[in-house]
């Protein structure tokens, strides 16, 4: 039928908010079935109950988004195959490191003609070079895949504070408009942009800039330094994106997915927060340890993204062009101290 069924693959902090946004709209829009399936990576809570059972009993993701009702039409499902079986529209929103495994499990399990969207900020690096997550999804599953990125700290959207987001699409404007319709609410304003690579690279690369901002905070270097880091970071984001995909547009960096996401993540994100703690400890405690201690099961994307970007830079001989990206990785692995975040500034890469 022409009535679409939506499944959300993922149920972390942002995944749960995405399900809430979508579920509020499927109730109102005749072109969507009311029910929204949400695949949950099952776990047993300290109280001995399964997370899925608690979500379905209380209508809250008590572990990753406590205190927020998702909507009664959100159904948590621990069975991935079952969750996607009847869907025409798939929303992918897990930490990026799990997506390759999930896609491999989904081969042959989804319906013909499915449309996909990725809310995932990250990439994979293969022998052949970098592979964006939307590309992994479309290659492995044989589907078209849009992206949604933006200045979207999940906990703020959960309590319906106004924000904007950007949908990136390759060619099909109608499909992009359908995703815009599915996500838009009076407090969540979504704009479509024909630059899927640019939008996704913005969302991915800003997490590396956020680590740099966190180091600056941990060392109490002040607002001017942090603003400088954000500016240099944004420049490197644009240069790197354009070197990878010549089609990437300058205007994309002025959308919510670009400058606005850099700002919000450098002010209030998890990557910033954990990087601040890392610098405060002089790099003596690892990111893995700090992540586990500070985030209650939520996952950082920036540390692995910094490594992935570094691999691309060293493989292509671009390290000199991207001092901020390179330095962030070297700080993360302990090769440089956190204070090195401002020590590359005499280098003036000429990619502008």
Beta strands 115-118 and 144-149, pairing class:
parallel
Rounded to whole angstroms, the Cα distance separating 7 from 272 reads: 31
Give residue 18's region: left, alpha or beta (phi > 0; psi -120 to 50): alpha
Which residue's entry shows tokens 């500070």? 294
76 within 8 A of 52, measured Cβ to Cβ: yes
> Is 299 a binder of ligand NAD (CB under 6 A)?
yes
Residue 186 parent element (H or E): none
Rounded to whole angstroms, the Cα distance separating 185 from 87 reads: 22
Partner in contact with 261, chosen from ligand NAD, ligand 13P, none, beta carbon below 5 to 8 Å by kind: ligand 13P
Taking CB under 6 A as the rule, which mask of x and - marks residues 303-332 in contact with ligand 13P?
------------------------------
Partner in contact with 299, chosen from ligand NAD, ligand 13P, none, beta carbon below 5 to 8 Å by kind: ligand NAD
> Is 68 a binder of ligand NAD (CB under 6 A)?
no
> Is 199 a binder of ligand 13P (CB under 6 A)?
no
> Is 278 a binder of ligand NAD (CB under 6 A)?
no
Partner in contact with 95, chosen from ligand 13P, ligand NAD, none, beta carbon below 5 to 8 Å by kind: ligand NAD
Residue nearest to ligand 13P (CB): 269
Among residues 197, 217, 236, 261, the one that binds ligand 13P under rule CB under 6 A: 261
> Is 276 a binder of ligand 13P (CB under 6 A)?
no
> Is 39 a binder of ligand NAD (CB under 6 A)?
no
Rounded to whole angstroms, the Cα distance separating 17 from 20 reads: 5
Of the two residues 222 and 297, which places its CB atom closer to ligand NAD in the complex? Answer: 297
26 within 8 A of 34, measured Cβ to Cβ: yes
The token pair at 132 is 């964006």
The token pair at 122 is 């990250």
Active site residue 111: no
Rounded to whole angstroms, the Cα distance separating 11 from 50 reads: 14
> Is 301 a binder of ligand NAD (CB under 6 A)?
yes
Closest approach of ligand NAD to the CB of residue 1, in Å: 30
> Is 26 a binder of ligand NAD (CB under 6 A)?
no
- Across the chain, how many H-helices and E-strands are there? 14, 10
Among residues 121, 206, 226, 273, the one annotated as catalytic is 206
Taking CB under 6 A as the rule, which mask of x and - marks residues 170-199 in contact with ligand NAD?
------------------------------
What's the gap between Cα 178 and its chain centre?
20
94 within 8 A of 10, measured Cβ to Cβ: yes
Using CB under 6 A as the criterion, which residues of the chain lie in contact with ligand NAD when the complex forms?
A: 10-15, 41, 64, 93-96, 98, 119-122, 152-154, 297-299, 301
Give catalytic residue positions. 206
């Amino acid at each position: 039928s022409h009535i679409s069924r939506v499944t959300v693959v993922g149920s972390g902090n942002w995944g749960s908010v995405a399900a809430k946004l979508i579920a509020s709209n499927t109730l109102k829009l005749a072109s969507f079935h009311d029910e929204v399936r949400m695949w949950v990576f099952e776990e047993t809570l300290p109280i001995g109950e399964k997370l899925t059972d608690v979500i379905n009993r209380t209508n809250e993701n008590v572990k990753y988004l406590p205190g927020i009702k998702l909507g009664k039409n959100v159904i948590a499902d621990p069975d991935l195959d079952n969750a996607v079986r009847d869907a025409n529209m798939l929303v992918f929103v897990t930490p990026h490191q799990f997506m390759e495994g999930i896609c491999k499990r989904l081969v042959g399990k989804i319906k013909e003609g499915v449309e996909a969207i990725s809310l995932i900020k990250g990439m994979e690096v293969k022998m052949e070079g970098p592979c964006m997550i939307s590309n992994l999804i479309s290659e492995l599953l044989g589907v078209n895949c849009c992206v949604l990125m933006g200045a979207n700290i999940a906990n703020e959207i959960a309590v319906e504070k106004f924000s904007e987001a950007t949908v990136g699409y390759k060619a099909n404007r109608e499909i992009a408009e359908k995703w815009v319709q599915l996500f838009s609410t009076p407090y969540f304003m979504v704009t479509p942009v024909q630059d899927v690579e640019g939008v996704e690279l913005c969302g991915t690369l800003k997490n590396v800039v956020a680590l740099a901002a966190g180091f600056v905070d941990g060392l109490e270097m002040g607002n001017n330094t942090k603003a400088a880091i954000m500016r240099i970071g944004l420049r490197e984001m644009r240069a790197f994106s354009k070197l990878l995909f010549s089609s990437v547009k300058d205007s994309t960096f002025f959308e919510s997915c670009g400058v606005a996401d850099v700002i919000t993540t450098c002010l209030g994100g998890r990557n910033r927060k954990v990087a601040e703690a890392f610098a405060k400890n002089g790099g003596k405690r690892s990111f893995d340890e700090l992540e586990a201690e500070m985030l209650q099961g939520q996952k950082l994307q920036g540390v692995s993204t910094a490594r992935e970007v570094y691999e691309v830079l060293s493989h292509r001989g671009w390290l000199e062009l991207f001092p901020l990206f390179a330095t962030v990785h070297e700080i993360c692995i302990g090769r440089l101290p956190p204070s090195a975040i401002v020590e590359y500034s005499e280098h003036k890469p000429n990619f502008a």
